[in-house]
Amino acid sequence: MAVIKPAPTEPFTFVFAAAVVIFFTLFLLFGQEPLTDTTSDNPITISDKGEIIFFADSLNLISNKTQSARTVDFGDFDVGHISKERIVESIDSLLVEKGLFKSASKEFSFDGATLENAHLVFTVSDTNEYGNLRIYLNDKPIFDNKTVKGAEYTVEFNNLLAQNYIRIESQSSGIRFWAPATYLLSDVKVSAASFDNVDKMYSFIVYDYEMAGFDAMLSYEVGAGSVRLDDMNVEINGNDINSEKRPMFGILYKETFDRTDGVIASKPDTNYIKFFADGEAMYEVEGAQLTITYFDSDKAAVSEYTVVIDEDTYDKMANKTIVLEYYADKVSNDALLDVSLNEQMFNHKTVVYENQIVLSQDNFRRGKTNLLKFSTYGIYKISDIDIRIVEDKNFKLF
């Protein structure tokens, strides 16, 4: 009987079988969708995350611009722990006299807790010179002399108390008992040096037309008499803008900011700048001025997109992070890119490569069209513009 041998297996059959085994093995190991690590602290790149509700390919923004500048001068002034003359009492005219039948004196008090180097100044308008003029500080004589009619006198005194009393009177006329010793004084003033913490505040206007291409630079120097015991501060609308806290004499300091820094008020006609110093420091600020640079051309480059948000999409946005993302391949060095949605301007400074602006449901109109607008007085090249609803709660900006 003939033996029938199986036909030899072709090499292809073995290769195919092995491939099938390897494919199913890899599918079991790696074919399932990986779990998302929600505990990671790393920033999330959203390019492949979330539901895209708007997309645009690219745009080129090129504008012609004319740049202008305006300077606001604040001048020279001192801030900080400053000694200044304070008048604590002022009397235009004063009559004092003393005799057997007539007597008149003047007494007044003042707080001396923060005062030093006090002095009393007066002019003798008239006198009969029958007796001395006497002045007492806290019941101690500080002046006891006859005076010259028409002369001005200065009486200096120190060692002030928290509460002080000055009494001005005349000496008795003595044997001329029928006529009192009389002094008519004028321009009576008590003044002293007082150390106060002085600051300077100025208001200034940024006009609406200057907000286009707005840049600003504050420049100033400090005088050699400054006492640099502590910091000097400069604020605009409550925002600290000076990088050098203890400026030195002989250096011109320049602090720059633009609209995206959030320094200028949303209503640009309500801005203020404040200079002040901490502790016992005193600074002589010289030549302080604010230079505002803006584009005065109306030829801005503008690109607008209509973003339709139906009611279902709007409802999905509730309590979610919505992100506007775009890429910048070219960025102008001398002009900002304004990005707005429904006329609401975002406080964002466009940088090369990826840009993200976080939005919320409140930024959109339910069931209506929304206007996304890019505008500049410079040159920008933008691509891959999209708006996404991001589910991941670990979303962070870069």
62 and 297 Cβ atoms separated by less than 8 Å: no
DSSP 140-171: EEEEEE---TT-EEEEEE----SEEEEEEEE-
Tens digit of each residue's pLDDT (9 = 90 or more) over 173-201: 666 666 788 999 999 999 998 888 899 99
User: Which one is the CATH code of 199-295: 2.60.120.260, 2.60.40.10, 3.40.50.300, 1.10.1060.10?
Assistant: 2.60.120.260
Do 46-65+300-390 and 83-195 have matching folds?
Answer: yes
Query: Token pair of 17, please?
Result: 């079988």
289 and 72 Cβ atoms separated by less than 8 Å: yes
* Strand order, beta sheet including 271-277: 200-204, 271-277, 232-236, 239-240
Within its chain, how far is the Cα of 125 from the centroid? 54
What's the start-to-end Cα distance of the chain, in Å?
A: 83
> Residue 28 pLDDT more than 70?
no
**pLDDT on residue 34:** 31
Q: What is the pTM of this model?
A: 0.53
> Residue 281 pLDDT more than 90?
yes
List the alpha helices (DSSP H) in 260-391.
311-316
53 and 388 Cβ atoms separated by less than 8 Å: yes
DSSP 239-272: EE--S-SSPPTT--EEEEEEGGGT-S-SSTTSEE
**pLDDT on residue 234:** 97
User: Which one is the CATH code of 83-195: 2.60.120.380, 2.70.98.10, 3.40.50.300, 3.40.50.10190?
Assistant: 2.60.120.380
Residues 6+ apart with CB under 8 A from 346: 339, 340, 357
Reported confidence tier of residue 25, pLDDT bands at 50, 70, 90: very low
Per CATH, the number for 46-65+300-390 is 2.60.120.260
| Identity of the residue numbered 63 | S
| Phi-psi group of 236: left, alpha or beta (phi > 0 → left; psi -120 to 50 → alpha; rest → beta) | beta
66 and 296 Cβ atoms separated by less than 8 Å: yes
DSSP 266: S
DSSP 268: T
43 and 372 Cβ atoms separated by less than 8 Å: no
pLDDT: is 11 or 394 the higher one?
394
For the chain, domain boundaries: 46-65+300-390, 83-195, 199-295
Q: Which class for 241: exposed (0-12), middle (13-18), buried (19 or more C-beta within 10 A)? A: middle
> Residue 36 pLDDT more than 60?
no
Return the percentage of the chain with pLDDT > 90, whole number: 53
Tens digit of each residue's pLDDT (9 = 90 or more) over 259-277: 878 898 767 778 999 999 9
**pLDDT on residue 8:** 41
